[in-house]
Structure 1
Amino acid sequence: MRVTLRFITISLIIAIFASGCVSRSAFQRKSDEAEHYATLSSNLEQDYAKLMEQQKQLALRYDELGQQLETSRNTAVTLRQDNLRAKADIARLEKILANRSAETGQAMTELRQDIDRLQEEKRHLNSQLEQEHLARQARIAQLKTTYDDLVDKLESEIKRGEVTISDLQGRLTVNMVEKILFDSGKADIKPAGLNILKRIGTILKNTADKSIRVEGHTDNVPISPRLKDIYRSNWELSTARAGSVVHFLQDRLGISGERLSVCGFGPYMPIASNATAQGRAQNRRIQIVLVPQQTQTLE
């Protein structure tokens, strides 16, 4: 377009010169106007080209913004869906939290009740323990008194080794060898033995909170043939001797039968070796054991 305008301008100038009817000043003026229009035309062409380029860039930008808008719309839809799901989750969690809060409140109430109950039980147990401790101290003191009384009353027999007294774990035991109570192979108490049992029984009668267990023991020498008709074995002999002691304590000293028990162990609980005469003599014995009334089982 620029070339065409310039060509037209030159053609006009030539035509004017050819006609010879235009003055030089007019010609110059027309020539300047033509040059001006040519320059103006060139500028317009440049502006047009720029506008076309801008239009192209705007079209590209328009397409780009359209894609961004579509992406934003899709994102908005996704966000709305996420928001709805989040609200639903929040509502569900709030419901769960409310239920848990109610359950926790109930659990705390029950826990406080349990704590109060346990504290009350603790106070009760502490009171019981204190009472049991005092009672135990009293029993120990009484047992010591009984022990001291027995030692005092049986001093001579203890010195001769015929009687021993022990106090192990709250169980007082009076151990008497056979010879001071019975003749060999017999279950009848000798007069000297009755005297010893009277002294022992008089003291034990005052221990009303204790049971009295009488145990009979023998050595491992079998019953002689002449005694087989009376005592089948040492079991029967040991039991008969313990029974004689129990009857004396009940019948002669008035100790309640509810406090008394009889045990015959025969040769099966020796305290010494049966290989020697001295050991066998120690194993032939009567033991009187004081035990708490509520536990009369053997241990």
Structure 2
Amino acid sequence: MKFPKLILALLIVAVTAQSCVSTKKYKELNANYTQLQNSTRDLSVKYQTSEQQLAVANGRVKSLEDQLASERANVKVLQDALNKCLNSTNQGSVNISKLVDEINSSNKYIQQLVNAKSKSDSLNMVLTNNLTRSLSQQELSDVDVKVLKGVVYISLADNMLYKSGSYEISDKAGATLSKIAKIIKDYNTYDVLIEGNTDNVPITQKNIRNNWDLSALRASSVVQSLQTTYGVEPKRLTAGGRGEYNPIADNNTPDGKSKNRRTQIIITPKLDQFMDLIGKAPDAQSTTPPVTPPKQ
């Protein structure tokens, strides 16, 4: 360092000049020397302190740089997460929009089904009224008319049609059969199936083997009556028996057995014929006023 060299030079000058300088001058030089030593010592302490402070500052700078790098990494992670969230939100908005469209489409389809069902129910009611308007209130208690999928079902109770335990047509069935024959003849292009049904009680008559025979014979009796007595074309008629195997009620109760013992007249028009049937009423000659059919 420069400070020791300076002190040494001053010392040499002081020694050399000792003999030729005064005591006062010597003291001044010595005082200056002491002051310089103190100054040198203070500067050395300050220098060491500065070095230590610089090291601490460098450490803090390094720590801050590390923290800054960490925060930048965190910011990048957060930005990536935000971008992903925004993309998901946009995709979610698209999905929600599609879902809303699907819901609206489904609601529209459901409404179409409801309208179609209401229209179908209305058409069925009109057709039922057309078919039953010539029947009296008493006859309607033994005759059930339904329209299912364009097919007309006229169900006749066995106690109205036949003698007990027999397939012969009873006398009291004539008035009702004549009106049903009139309906069938008015719609003379439709096929007609006469279907016999029984309960599950075995038949005991010697000339009838079982309920299959009984149901088929009863259907055949109605077919032949419609043909021979009321003039319905036989080529339009089909007789069939289903025995006890097409029940509509529980055979364990008397009321259920009574409902299962029935003969159905099934009118099966094509679609265009069915639509014509909706708007056409039979030409009834009866003076019986129209009546409201029983609830289905």
Report the TM-score when normalising by structure 1: 0.52
1:52 Cα deviation from its structure 2 partner: 0.4
| Change over 3 Å in CA distance of 1:121–1:243 after alignment to 2 | farther
Q: What amino acid sits opposite 1:133 in the alignment?
A: S
| 1:18-50: CA deviation from partner (whole Å, max 9, x where unpaired) | xxxxxxxxxxxx9xx846864674465245324
2:142 to 164, 170, 173: 164
Q: Which residue of 2 aligns with 1:6?
A: none
Q: Could you tell me which of 127, 146, 158 is aligned with 1:142? A: 127
Q: Distance in 2 between matches of 1:35 and 1:111?
A: 104
| 2:48 counterpart of 1:59 | yes
Partner residue in 1 for 2:181: 201
Larger radius of gyration: 1
Q: Which residues in structure 2 correspond to 1:257-272 (within 5 Å)?
A: 262-265=241-244
Q: 1:210 to 1:36 in 2, by over 3 A?
A: farther
Higher helix share: 1
Distance in 2, matches of 1:60 and 1:135, equals 103
Alignment-mate amino acid for residue 52 of structure 1: R
1:143 Cα offset (Å):
1.7
Q: Which runs of 5+ in 1 are unaligned?
A: 1-11, 13-29, 295-299
Task: Report whether the alignment pairs 1:72 with 2:57.
Answer: no
1:55-103 Cα distance to aligned partner (Å, 9 max, x none): 1232232143135336635864x5797699689x68x949x959x8599
- 1:247-258 equivalence runs, <5 A: 248-249=225-226, 252-254=231-233
- Alignment of 1:223 with 2:204, yes or no, is yes
1:193-225 per-position Cα deviation (integer Å, ceiling 9, x unaligned): 34432223323666899986634225736413x
Rate the CA distance shift 1:205–1:44 in 2: closer, same or farther, 3 A.
Answer: farther
Q: Distance in 2 between matches of 1:166 and 1:102?
A: 62
Alpha-carbon distance between aligned partners in 2 of 1:39 and 1:250, rounded to the nearest angstrom: 163
The answer for the alignment partner of 1:24 in structure 2 is: none
Give me the identity figure in percent: 12
Q: Deviations over 1:88-146 (max 9, x none)?
A: x68x949x959x859957993x8767766765675465345434423421321332443
Q: Gaps spanning 5+ residues in structure 2: where?
A: 1-17, 271-296
Count of paired positions = 242
Asked whether the 8 Å contact 2:193–2:266 carries over to 1, the reply is yes
Superposition CA RMSD, Å: 5.6
Distance 1:250 1:118 in 2: 56
Match of 1:286 among 262, 267, 270: 262
Q: What SS does structure 1 have at the residue aligned with 2:209? A: coil
Q: Distance in 2 between matches of 1:127 and 1:266?
A: 37
Say if 1:172 and 1:289, in contact at 8 Å, map to a contact too. Answer: yes
Q: Is the 8 A contact 1:214 1:246 kept in 2?
A: no
Code of the aligned partner of 1:264? G
Q: Does residue 1:237 correspond to 2:214, yes or no?
A: yes
Measure how far apart 1:240 and its partner are.
2.3
**TM-score by structure 2 length?**
0.52
